[in-house]
């Protein structure tokens, strides 16, 4: 039988080119692995306070004080809110040219548990606001640096903090090699579950993970609704004010959010529509979330089924990725983004094996609001802002890396490094990345050096922010 012609979209027949592993290995000549260990701040680097103030642009002014207050809590909290500042710094560090769909904010607190459609708990990355296609090293460097900062906050020794960064990189490297040697479909569908604990030798974490899992199983829409809503005379429920985190909004604002759910339905697979058709939209409230996300417009929408059982959706403003301008400088220009919510949703789906079954996006139109720069608008509906939509409290649970015991931070580092490798392997060929990383510890040692240096820089940035608050240069609130 003659060979079939090439079918676009599938792998091309062997063209006598180098094997993917050899391609990755050859990149070491151009970008030595030891080079990743160096970090020197750019001479023109803006000061940390200026970068924080610039990142507050477009956020709700009454909430930016809370955001600054949360970032000032400690260096790790500052790091969580400064993904754009680190992206600026990373443009002066080496890149191999291998691209992957990045989380964009792969710090140690953005890993955790969540429930799939059948309520089974899965471990994975769980924050994708900054996701985009870019240098795979950036996610790994952000993870490594965050582990040093979290370890310091937890009271671990400097040697333990450095070891955590080194072992996260080692786990990433070994997991990429493991995936590179598996059948493509098996590697693609590798689920991050309790078996990962054995693979990464993270047995000291078992007790912590079990406690987090038990808490996650209780973290549901029904539990949130029971605490945050009250019955309405005549039937139904409504949200109860709990400022500054949860507050009621005007009827016009609530109606605009509710109306946007029609467009949201168009972004879902058709087989999800009969499920949502069994729920009635009851109420909408504003809810403050996160550290880096504070100040963004974020709503919770209460839905009730025929039995009065609740389902809560989160409708969260989607801004452009803080990494976008810097990824372009590193050789990864972002394509035109028709909708920032769509970017986040598609990025999440490209990273996770199992994603929220109700994940989608929409545009909220407010006739009284001026349009946000670069956001879609509709003359008939008024200015529009892009949003992502997902289930709220979908059995999510997370480990606080700053509260881990000394003998756990290293286990947690290995686990998160393995999770990150599995996530990147969906978009980057694991054979190429594994070929570059190699079997030895050269990359592990380099990224440990980088992580310590960048953690030192972050502590200095945090001190600048605290000083600016004390001097009155910038305002902060510790509440919320």
Residues with Cβ within 8 Å of 33's Cβ and at least 6 positions away in sequence, in order, are 436, 437, 438, 442, 443, 446
The pLDDT score that the predictor gives to residue 445 is: 98
Residues with Cβ within 8 Å of 336's Cβ and at least 6 positions away in sequence, in order, are none
Q: What Å distances lie between residue 470 and 50, 54, 266, 480, CA to CA?
A: 16, 19, 49, 19
The pLDDT score that the predictor gives to residue 123 is: 81
The pLDDT score that the predictor gives to residue 382 is: 57
Structural domain boundaries in the chain: 20-217+402-471, 220-320+337-394
- Average pLDDT per block of 10 residues along the chain, 480 residues long: 81 78 97 96 92 93 93 97 97 97 96 74 88 98 98 96 97 93 88 58 67 75 91 93 93 96 97 97 93 90 95 96 95 92 97 91 79 49 85 81 90 91 95 97 98 98 97 84
User: Is residue 344 packed enough to be buried (19+ CB in 10 Å), middle (13-18) or exposed (0-12)?
Assistant: buried
The pLDDT score that the predictor gives to residue 380 is: 47
The pLDDT score that the predictor gives to residue 244 is: 86
| pTM listed for this prediction | 0.92
d(CA 290, CA 70): 9
The pLDDT score that the predictor gives to residue 108 is: 96
The pLDDT score that the predictor gives to residue 112 is: 82
d(CA 90, CA 321): 15
Token representation of residue 183: 């059948």
CA quadruple 284, 388, 131, 100: dihedral positive or negative? Answer: positive
Tokens 């808490």 belong to 215
d(CA 389, CA 267): 10
The pLDDT score that the predictor gives to residue 379 is: 47
Cα of 160 vs its chain's centroid, Å: 25
Residues with Cβ within 8 Å of 399's Cβ and at least 6 positions away in sequence, in order, are 109, 111, 112, 205, 208, 209, 212, 412
d(CA 200, CA 293): 31
d(CA 327, CA 312): 35
d(CA 41, CA 18): 37
d(CA 192, CA 189): 9
Q: What are phi and psi of 310, to 5 degrees?
A: -90, 155
């Amino acid at each position: 039988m003659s060979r079939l012609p090439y079918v676009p979209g599938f792998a091309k027949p062997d063209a006598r080119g180098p094997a993917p592993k050899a391609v990755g290995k050859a990149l070491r000549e151009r970008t030595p692995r030891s080079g990743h260990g160096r970090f020197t701040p750019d001479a023109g680097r803006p000061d940390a306070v200026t970068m924080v103030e610039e990142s507050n642009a477009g956020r709700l002014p009454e909430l930016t004080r809370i955001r600054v207050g949360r970032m000032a809590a400690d260096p790790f909290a500052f790091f969580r809110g400064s993904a754009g500042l680190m992206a600026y710094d990373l443009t002066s560090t080496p890149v191999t040219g291998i691209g992957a769909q990045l989380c964009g904010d792969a710090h140690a607190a953005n890993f955790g548990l969540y429930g799939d459609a059948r309520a089974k708990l899965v471990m994975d990355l769980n924050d994708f606001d900054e996701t985009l296609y870019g240098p795979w090293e950036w996610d790994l460097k952000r993870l490594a640096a965050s582990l040093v900062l979290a370890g310091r906050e937890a009271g671990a020794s400097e040697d333990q903090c450095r070891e955590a960064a080194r072992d996260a990189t080692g786990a990433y490297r070994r997991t990429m090699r493991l995936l590179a040697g598996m059948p493509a479909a098996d590697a693609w569908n590798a689920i991050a579950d309790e078996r990962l604990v054995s693979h990464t030798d993270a047995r000291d974490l078992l007790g912590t993970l079990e406690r987090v899992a038990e808490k996650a199983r209780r973290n549901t829409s029904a539990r949130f609704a029971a605490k945050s809503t009250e019955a309405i005379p005549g039937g139904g429920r409504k949200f109860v004010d709990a400022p500054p985190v949860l507050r009621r909004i005007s009827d016009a604002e609530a109606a605009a959010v509710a109306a946007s759910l029609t467009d949201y339905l168009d972004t879902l697979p058709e087989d999800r529509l009969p499920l949502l058709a069994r729920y009635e939209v009851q109420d909408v409230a504003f809810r403050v979330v996160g550290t880096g996300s504070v100040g963004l417009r974020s709503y919770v929408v209460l839905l009730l089924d025929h039995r009065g059982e609740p389902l809560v959706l989160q409708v969260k403003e989607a801004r452009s990725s803080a990494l976008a301008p810097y990824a372009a400088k590193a050789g990864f220009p972002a394509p035109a983004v028709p909708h920032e919510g769509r970017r986040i949703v598609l990025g999440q789906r490209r990273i996770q094996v199992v994603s929220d079954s109700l994940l989608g996006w929409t545009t909220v139109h407010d006739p009284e609001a001026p349009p946000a720069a670069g956001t879609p608008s509709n003359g008939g509906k008024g200015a529009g802002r892009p949003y992502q939509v997902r289930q709220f409290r979908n059995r999510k649970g997370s480990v606080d890396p700053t509260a881990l015991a000394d003998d756990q931070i290293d286990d947690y580092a290995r686990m998160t490094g393995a999770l990150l490798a599995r996530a990147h392997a969906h978009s980057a060929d694991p054979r190429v990345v594994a070929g570059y990383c190699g079997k030895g510890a050269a990359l592990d040692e380099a990224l440990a050096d980088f992580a310590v240096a960048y953690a030192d820089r972050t502590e200095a940035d945090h001190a600048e922010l605290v000083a600016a608050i004390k001097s009155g240069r910038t305002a902060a609130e510790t509440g919320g």
